[in-house]
Amino acid sequence: MEPVVKIDQEKCTACYACVRSCPVKAIKVEPDRPAPMIIPDRCIGCGNCHAACGEDAIIIRDGKTDLRKLLKQGEEVTALLDPSIAGEFPDITDYRKFVSMVRKLGFRFVNEVAFGVELVAAEYRKLVDDSKGKYYLFSNCPISVMYVEKYKPELTRNLAPIMPPVVATARVVRQKYGNDMRVAYISPLIASKQEAVRLAEDEKIDAVLTFIELRELFSEYKIDEKNLEYSEFDNPIGYLGSLFPLSSGILEAAGIEQRVLSSKVITVEGDLVFDSIREFEEDITTIKSHFNIFYKEFIMGRGTSPNARKWLRRSQLIRYLNKREKTFDQEAHDKALLEYSGIGLTRSFRNDDQRMEAPPAEEVEKIQAELRKHGDQERGCGACGYRSCHEFAVAIAQGLAVPEMCNFYASRNTMDHIQSLKISNEKLAQAQVALKESEQIAQKEKESAREASEITRTMLQKLPSAVVILDETLKVIQANESLIGLLGEEAMEINEVVPGLTGADLKTLLPYNIHNLFTYVLANNENITDRDILLNEKQYSISVFVIRKQKIVGAVIRDLSAPEVQKEEIVKRLTDVVDKNLSLVQQIGFILGEGASETERMLNSIIESYKPKK
């Protein structure tokens, strides 16, 4: 089933007000998620977190949905009204109009829990009179009961084994109308929703609505007392049980002595309940009294409208009871008490120990050192939600809290962060200056490179030899005008559309035996120099060389028929002949004698004749 209380992660602003308000630390904060989480097993349903949250991020399980399902099923449902209604609805002029409004929602019967209070009160009177030296914690407040079960389980044997008044009333209703009767409890407490889930089948409460939810239903269904007639509660009717919403009301209903000097019962209300339970545990043999404990008077429960005035509500409750007294039938009341006295009101409790194992002292000390908390660790500002710095450090070790919840730690970290940011900003400013200088240098270098590239490109275009640069797919990166002229009309037409043939496929412009040379150089990273080729029925010399391995190659193609090329080529080739024959000449020189020298002079003279004149 959905938890009674949870946190809307989207609405939560991580202010930790809920953590500070939780009396049992059932809310944890994890490092990887800033918004806190409620731990359902540890929660006692007090509703403090809901009251403390200023962002409306605490969600209470909706009881209206459960009620609608019951009513839509067509089954008969009885409303069990807590006596606190007298203080909650002062805007309704007569309680009988209020009963009519409740019936209008679809309830078959409307019964007062006040009668169940009186059945329970009689059991408490017996318990106090016959305790035989054993002292009890009264178990009417579900918040206090869950606290004992979860955090003081050794004391469950001291919880009064008496059913809560609403269960007593439910049993009365089922005895009167049949076991199939469904019941919905309209309660001033959020904890009643949690208590109902824990009840056994024969104690079952089918739906729990808070007073706030009841108001919302009245508004939703547009139910107004002006349009309704009077209607009385269904029998049996309660009387002094109507005082139950007050902390000492159960004693009044039970007729238990309340004088300070002679009373066997101490009534405790509010946050002191937890301290009183500890005192009960440690000093009951000296105190020698039963404890009537209420975490909060029902009349001011967390399920009632917020910002209410306690003493005004109390006066309204008393006024309601005085009004009922005028028509109260004591004889019928006593008869009803006798009739239902055997319904059985004994209950048991569970050991639901939620206490966490204490972490090692070394770990706690390490955390305190990280928090830079020294000196008296039993003191603290309380902003984190824990009573002391030591307790906070323990919670961190248990995984319930994070260091950032400490104002001192967070403030110091903020200052450290600001200082770090300041240093970072200074370094960043220096880096920006250096970057700006680098950008200026880079811009100059870029301009120089652009200028050099333009000069190179211009020179490339002016060369008489054909030059081309290709990528690994034999697409033209750059080509000069000599190459375009060499390739013919098709290349010239392409050049008009795409200057420099950029992107053109050389395979479509040159025969296979020529473009295959480029493929070879790309594949083998091996230059080819002065290879003779035939192109357009003319002899050319081609050199293909690697510019970037397997990525870019370049080529120079020279027309061997050009006069300057012819001279250069003849000189080169004659030089090669001379080099090849010199060794031979030297070997036979001793035979030819002067003939070898004469031959060398003759060849040199031929070479000189072809060299350009200076």
Q: Which of the listed residues 307, 339, 371 is the one where a domain comes to its end?
A: 339
CATH assignment at residue 243 = 3.40.50.1780
Q: Please report which confidence band the pLDDT of residue 574 belongs to, taking 50, 70 and 90 as the band edges.
A: low
Are both 496 and 366 inside the same structural domain? no
- Asked whether residue 20 is assigned to any structural domain, the reply reads no
Are both 309 and 370 inside the same structural domain? no
- Confidence (pLDDT) at 44: 93
- Asked whether residue 382 is assigned to any structural domain, the reply reads yes
Q: Which helix (H) or strand (E) holds 571?
A: helix 563-592
Do residues 510 and 487 touch, judged by C-beta distance below 8 A?
Answer: yes
Count structural domains, the chain: 4
Upper half-sphere CA count for residue 35 (Cβ side, 13 Å): 14
User: Average of pLDDT values for 146-173?
Assistant: 95
Residue 413 reports pLDDT greater than 70: no
- Confidence (pLDDT) at 322: 87
Q: Could you tell me how many residues make up the chain?
A: 614
Alpha-helical (H) ranges within 105-164 are: 113-129, 142-151
Tell the residue number behind the tokens 């010399």, with chain if given: 541
- Confidence (pLDDT) at 541: 86
Tell the residue number behind the tokens 């260091």, with chain if given: 403
What mean pLDDT value characterizes the chain?
84
Do residues 298 and 117 touch, judged by C-beta distance below 8 A?
Answer: no
Are both 67 and 194 inside the same structural domain? yes
- Confidence (pLDDT) at 592: 44
User: Average of pLDDT values for 4-32?
Assistant: 89
Residue 588 reports pLDDT greater than 70: no
- Asked whether residue 58 is assigned to any structural domain, the reply reads no
Are both 506 and 469 inside the same structural domain? yes
- Asked whether residue 570 is assigned to any structural domain, the reply reads yes
Are both 537 and 590 inside the same structural domain? no
Name the DSSP letter for residue 143: H
DSSP 456-469: HHHHHHH-SSEEEE
Give the separation between CA 318 and CA 240, rounded to whole angstroms: 10
- Confidence (pLDDT) at 212: 94
Are both 85 and 192 inside the same structural domain? yes
What is the CA 326 to chain-centroid distance, rounded? Answer: 59
Residue 439 reports pLDDT greater than 70: yes
| Residue span of the structural domain in which 516 resides | 463-561
**Which of 42-46, 400-404, 546-550 bottoms out in mean pLDDT, i.e. has the lowest?**
400-404
pLDDT tens for 239-275 read 899 999 999 999 999 999 888 888 899 999 988 899 9
The angle formed by the CA atoms of residues 312, 243 and 133, to the nearest 5 degrees, is 130
Are both 313 and 387 inside the same structural domain? no
Buried b (16+ CB within 10 A) or exposed e, 129-163: eeeeeebbbbbbbbbbbbbbbbbbbebbebbbbbb
Are both 469 and 514 inside the same structural domain? yes
Q: Please report which confidence band the pLDDT of residue 595 belongs to, taking 50, 70 and 90 as the band edges.
A: very low
Give the separation between CA 354 and CA 233, rounded to whole angstroms: 41
CA dihedral 537, 543, 547, 552 (to 10 degrees): 20
Alpha-carbon distances of 529 from 9, 195, 573, 614, rounded to whole Å: 75, 97, 14, 28
- The radius of gyration of the chain's CA atoms, rounded to the nearest angstrom, is 50
Give the separation between CA 528 and CA 517, rounded to whole angstroms: 8
Give the separation between CA 28 and CA 105, rounded to whole angstroms: 39
Q: Please report which confidence band the pLDDT of residue 480 belongs to, taking 50, 70 and 90 as the band edges.
A: confident
Residues whose CB is less than 8 angstroms from the CB of residue 123 and which lie 6 or more positions away in sequence, other chains included: 162, 345
Give the separation between CA 489 and CA 494, rounded to whole angstroms: 9
Residue 579: Cβ within 10 Å count: 9
Give the residue from 460, 490, 485 showing the smallest Cα distance to 538.
Answer: 485
Are both 591 and 510 inside the same structural domain? no
Instruction: Kindly report the three-state secondary structure assignment for every residue of 252-311.
Output: HHHCCCCCCCCCCEEEEECCHHHHHHHHHHHHHHHHCCEEEEECCCHHHCCCCCCCCCHH
Distance between terminal CA atoms of the chain?
107
- Asked whether residue 123 is assigned to any structural domain, the reply reads yes
- Confidence (pLDDT) at 608: 55
Give the separation between CA 414 and CA 133, rounded to whole angstroms: 59
The angle formed by the CA atoms of residues 513, 519 and 522, to the nearest 5 degrees, is 150
Helix and strand counts by DSSP (H, E) for the chain: 22, 15
Q: Which two three-digit tokens encode residue 332?
A: 């019928």
Q: Collapsing DSSP states into helix, strand and coil, what is residue 91?
A: coil
**Residues pairing with 111 in the sheet:** 80
Are both 102 and 116 inside the same structural domain? yes
Give the residue from 553, 470, 548, 539 showing the smallest Cα distance to 509.
Answer: 470
User: Average of pLDDT values for 189-204?
Assistant: 82
Q: Which of the listed residues 546, 561, 576 is the one where a domain comes to its end?
A: 561
Give the separation between CA 601 and CA 532, rounded to whole angstroms: 30
Are both 475 and 530 inside the same structural domain? yes
Residue 316 reports pLDDT greater than 80: yes
The angle formed by the CA atoms of residues 4, 6 and 10, to the nearest 5 degrees, is 150
Residue 447 reports pLDDT greater than 60: yes
Answer with the residue of higher pLDDT: 607 or 501. Answer: 501
Q: Which of the listed residues 305, 339, 373 is the one where a domain comes to its end?
A: 339
Q: Please report which confidence band the pLDDT of residue 596 belongs to, taking 50, 70 and 90 as the band edges.
A: very low
Q: Which helix (H) or strand (E) holds 167?
A: helix 165-177
**Which of 202-206, 333-337, 449-453 bottoms out in mean pLDDT, i.e. has the lowest?**
449-453
- Asked whether residue 371 is assigned to any structural domain, the reply reads yes
Residue 370 reports pLDDT greater than 50: yes
Threshold 0.85, pTM exceeds? no
Alpha-carbon distances of 401 from 29, 164, 316, 385, 521, rounded to whole Å: 5, 35, 43, 10, 69
Are both 107 and 188 inside the same structural domain? yes
Single-letter code of the amino acid located at 539:
Q
Residue 82 reports pLDDT greater than 90: yes
Q: Please report which confidence band the pLDDT of residue 589 belongs to, taking 50, 70 and 90 as the band edges.
A: very low
Alpha-carbon distances of 550 from 501, 510, 515, 545, 591, rounded to whole Å: 21, 20, 15, 11, 53
Residue 602 reports pLDDT greater than 60: no
Do residues 88 and 245 touch, judged by C-beta distance below 8 A?
Answer: no
User: Average of pLDDT values for 8-12?
Assistant: 90
- Confidence (pLDDT) at 265: 93
Residue 342 reports pLDDT greater than 90: no
- Asked whether residue 513 is assigned to any structural domain, the reply reads yes
- Asked whether residue 507 is assigned to any structural domain, the reply reads yes
User: Average of pLDDT values for 502-521?
Assistant: 84
Give the separation between CA 465 and CA 358, rounded to whole angstroms: 90
Q: Collapsing DSSP states into helix, strand and coil, what is residue 356?
A: coil
Alpha-carbon distances of 501 from 99, 230, 461, 497, 553, rounded to whole Å: 97, 101, 13, 8, 16
Q: What percent of the chain has pLDDT over 70?
A: 87
CATH assignment at residue 512 = 3.30.450.20
User: Average of pLDDT values for 474-479?
Assistant: 86
Q: Please report which confidence band the pLDDT of residue 606 belongs to, taking 50, 70 and 90 as the band edges.
A: very low
Residues whose CB is less than 8 angstroms from the CB of residue 91 and which lie 6 or more positions away in sequence, other chains included: none
User: Average of pLDDT values for 376-405?
Assistant: 76
Upper half-sphere CA count for residue 317 (Cβ side, 13 Å): 26
